Amino acid sequence: PWPEKDPRCFRMGVWAPPRRLLELAGQSLLQNEALAVAALEELPVELFPPLFTAAFAGRHTHAVKAMVQAWPFACLPLGALMKDHEPHLETFQAALDGLDLLLAEEVRPRRWKLQVLDLRRNAHQDFWTLWCGIKASVCSLLEPEPAQPMQKARRVEAQAGLKPARAPVEVLVDLCLKEDTLDETLSYLLKKAKQRRSLLHLRCQKLRIFTVPVQSIRRILKLVQLDSIQDLEVNCTWKLATLGRFLPHLGRMGNLRRLLLSRVRLLPHTAPAREAHCVRQLTAQFLNLPHLQELSLDSISFLEGRLHQVLRCLKTPLETLCISNCLISESDLTYLSQCPSVSLLKDLGLSGVNLTSLSLEPLQVLIERTSATLQDLDLDECGIVDSQFSALLPSLSRCSQLTTFRFCGNPISMSVLESLLQHTVGLSKLSLVLYPAPLESYEDVRGTLHPGLLAQLHARLRQLVRTSGRASTVWFSSNTCPHCGDEIFYGIWPILCPCYMPA
């Protein structure tokens, strides 16, 4: 029987041919590459995706170059194809050369529709298998548009004595800059973007920067539409002054949603005036980021005593704030508890921030303020002791949306962990809790773990969870082993470090 009709799968009332038949037709055409190129003008739209897939996988560079120029869809999701077929450099270059030739033409081909070359590997995953239009989401973006309005516009331009407008083509790419020497595919893309700067716009939604000289980063960012960047990670061991040379680019990323800034250090003998100037330069850029929702600061050496300078420049409430492996003062914690920008937090992380000597009353206030929205709380490795944690429990018990709580690496007794279970029994959405191994499970002050005691205490907590009727998962994590530095994790079964494995 015929399958149910879907009008998006047809052209002029004709059934879309079976996919296997289209693949065979494409392979047959590519046996004579010159014939395939010559046939593109009259090639049915349905044959383009399978023919392009075969040409790209088979490294038929002439066919790839010609098909890019004749591509009959608004978007060419090349990145998704590159994920399945690791690209040969010459084949990738052929695709960009085809785009380059297209941009160079004063009057573009009759069937030309290409507006976006998408090099992101996780975008449009279904296109190459569902190109016939089974899914509406695929069709709506990639289906060819009627040719008549385009031809009519050209006739009007010709009658007026005007040259046809050459609209720029956007290239969507996620950039990960890891080394001073770029890989050859990225280098070739940047070369083309520089040559056709007015007609080829690089748009980058996600940008990751690792250990790249700042002068190289600045050269690359000159070719990128900075307002397209929504997710930025800077993982460079930079001095504060070096960060200052990058900041003008940050200030132009007006649509940034997420920012992670990691490992920025302050030189020991930096003059206080110079240090203050660099910090002001950084915080001033936040005024230009009106859409920022997630802020992560990791290993930032200048943060202590200055958290208020960072947070007061935020223009909208944050959903995520993570401060990890930083020193903060009690005044920082107090300001954090009062800051307007954190009143709607969903994720709060203070992992690796030493709170042992601080009053946690401000943290208690902050947890209470965000109790209606907080979903993820990370207090790993904060040095929180029994008395401090007990003071947090009433506020924690009001976090009705909490799903995940991480609290490993803190010196807490079994009695306080049992109290935690009692205070959180009403949190119906809490599904994952990562506890520290209780103090009673260690044999000595050096941190030597007793696996048998740990197993007993873990079983006791799991029984309490079951008795409470809550379906949350309980994990223990020990302190690092004094012999090898590894940790022991205990879920349903223990994951032991080598020192505790039987010989």
Q: How many CB atoms lie within 10 A of CB 455?
A: 15
Q: How many CB atoms lie within 10 A of CB 124?
A: 21
Spatial distance between the Cα atoms of 122 and 66, rounded to a whole number of angstroms: 25
Task: Give phi and psi for 468, each to the nearest 5.
Answer: -70, -15
Spatial distance between the Cα atoms of 71 and 87, rounded to a whole number of angstroms: 19
Instruction: Name which of 259, 258, 197, 262 is nearest 224 in CA terms.
Output: 197
- Distance from chain centroid for Cα 165: 36
The pLDDT value given to residue 360: 96
Residue spans of the chain under pLDDT 70? 1-36, 87, 107-111, 131-166, 180-181, 446-447, 469-474, 476, 478-503
Tell me the β-bridge partners of 259.
232, 295
DSSP 252: T
Spatial distance between the Cα atoms of 174 and 119, rounded to a whole number of angstroms: 8
Q: Would you say 378 and 350 are in contact if contact means Cβ atoms under 8 Å apart?
A: yes
Q: How buried is 235 (Cβ within 10 angstroms: 0-12 exposed, 13-18 middle, 19+ buried)? A: middle
State the sign of the Cα–Cα–Cα–Cα dihedral 221, 224, 227, 231.
Answer: negative
Domains for the chain: give ranges and CATH numbers.
23-131 (no CATH), 345-502 (3.80.10.10)
Helices (H) and strands (E) in the chain, counts: 18, 18
Cα 357 to Cα 370, 390, 392, distances in angstroms: 24, 15, 15
Q: Would you say 345 and 372 are in contact if contact means Cβ atoms under 8 Å apart?
A: no
Residue 469 backbone class (left: φ over 0; alpha: ψ -120 to 50; beta: rest)? left
